[in-house]
Amino acid sequence: MCRPAAGYADFVVANGGLDGRVRHRSLPAELGSTRAARETVRVACHDWRLDDDTCDDALLVATELVANAVDHAQTPCVLILSRDHDGLRITVRDFAPWQLPELQPVDVTAARGRGLQVVAAVSSEWGVTTVDGEKSVWAVLPEGTQA
pLDDT band at 25, cuts 50/70/90?
very high
Nearest to 62 by CA among 86, 89, 85: 89
Interval 9-16 mean pLDDT: 43
Domain assignments of the chain as residue spans, ordered by start: 21-141
What's the pLDDT tens digit per position in 41-71? 999 999 999 999 999 999 999 999 999 999 9
Res 99: pLDDT: 74
Is residue 17 predicted with pLDDT exceeding 50? no
Task: Give the domain 21-141 fold.
Answer: Heat Shock Protein 90 (3.30.565)
Res 84: pLDDT: 84
What's the pLDDT tens digit per position in 74-125? 999 999 999 988 899 999 999 998 877 776 776 666 656 678 889 999 999 9
Res 76: pLDDT: 95
C-alpha 3, offset from chain centre = 17
Task: For residues 126 and 119, give the distance between their C-alpha atoms in angstroms, rounded to a whole number.
Answer: 8
